[in-house]
Amino acid sequence: MTFPTPALHWNIALVGYGEVGRILAEDLRMYIKTVTACDLKVGAGDTAAAAAMQDHASKLGVALSATHPGTVAGADLVICAVTASQTVAAAEACAPGLKPGAFFLDLNSASPAAKIRAAGIIEKAGGRYVEAAVMTSVPPYRIRVPLLLGGPHATAIEPGLKVLGFEAKVASEKLGVASATKMCRSVMIKGLEAMVIESFTAARAYGVEDAVIASLYETFPGIDWEKQASYFFQRVIEHGRRRSEEVREVAVTVREIGLTPWSAQGTAERQAWVADLAEEGLFGNKGSKEFARSADWRIEADRILAKVKPVK
């Protein structure tokens, strides 16, 4: 069975209205008439985050609420983009409102086991679950971010997603393959972020950062380490909480095959630690998104050092 209606006439529901959800809303509204969305923060009271979401949704003509069943009711395609730890909970919350045959596209960075549990919930409710592994950072690519699709309905949804602008390809009809690819890649990518922050901040403290970077250029001449370091600092400061949750799922993925996830566990702790500092306001006004905009990683490293290094 192919997609139920021509993709450009789908009703689409977004579950999660954070950075990814808002980007997708912007791009989808260029073609799609009916886009609904939900996010738990909307019902969390009078917060700056909820107000920003409501303002964004209103400008786009997206109906935004805090309730899942009403949001997904009538949707031909539900796109779930929440934090990794909420993957199964989001599926449970959406299941009662799904119309029969609706696709449920799970973009969450969760372990294969979590994806399989979520799939069982959606399939039992009459929906068609498709796992989607997001293979790089969304903002530069927006809706065209590379996706690996998995599950028995992946082939059916692929043409419709491409019509909508997604850069999607089927990885496997077996659930868990796409997410395993994503998780194993994240051991490296998120681990490299954490290692650069730790290495460069320590090098800055000892006054040897120029020597360290020069050595890295010799060993890996294809990487602009100054530019890459600034990018890594920015991404972790701004999105460390979400990244730490993803890497905890990475650790679960590694542990499920019997290997102790020492690297992933350390990466998750470093990412969460930086997120804690950001929430304390170390990198700018607390709750502000104006931190992490420095073109020089040294500025952020100095802020970290001022926090952790005793004043002599």
Helix (H) or strand (E) holding 78: strand 77-80
* Residue 114 pLDDT level (bands cut at 50, 70, 90): very high
Query: Does 289 score more than 70 pLDDT?
Result: no
> What are the Cα distances from residue 216, in Å, to 51, 58, 210?
44, 47, 10
Distance CA 304, CA 298 (A): 10
Quick: pLDDT tens for 30-72: 989 999 999 999 987 668 888 999 999 999 999 999 999 999 9
Which residues make beta-bridge pairs with 10?
Answer: none
Quick: pLDDT tens for 169-180: 999 999 999 999
Q: What is the CATH number of domain 183-308?
A: 1.10.1040.10
Which tokens in the block code for residue 299? 């500025």
pTM summary value: 0.86
* Residue 249 pLDDT level (bands cut at 50, 70, 90): very high
Query: Does 92 score more than 70 pLDDT?
Result: yes
CA 258 to chain centre: 26
Which residues, including other chains, have CB under 8 Å from residue 227's CB and lie 6 or more apart? none
CATH 3.20.20.10 fits 7-175, yes or no: no
Q: What is the mean pLDDT of the chain?
A: 92
What are the boundaries of each domain within the chain? 7-175, 183-308
Distance CA 203, CA 210 (A): 8
pLDDT for the residue numbered 112: 95
* Residue 5 pLDDT level (bands cut at 50, 70, 90): low
pLDDT for the residue numbered 293: 54
Distance CA 27, CA 219 (A): 40
> Could you tell me if 211 and 217 are in contact, meaning their C-beta atoms sit under 8 angstroms apart?
no
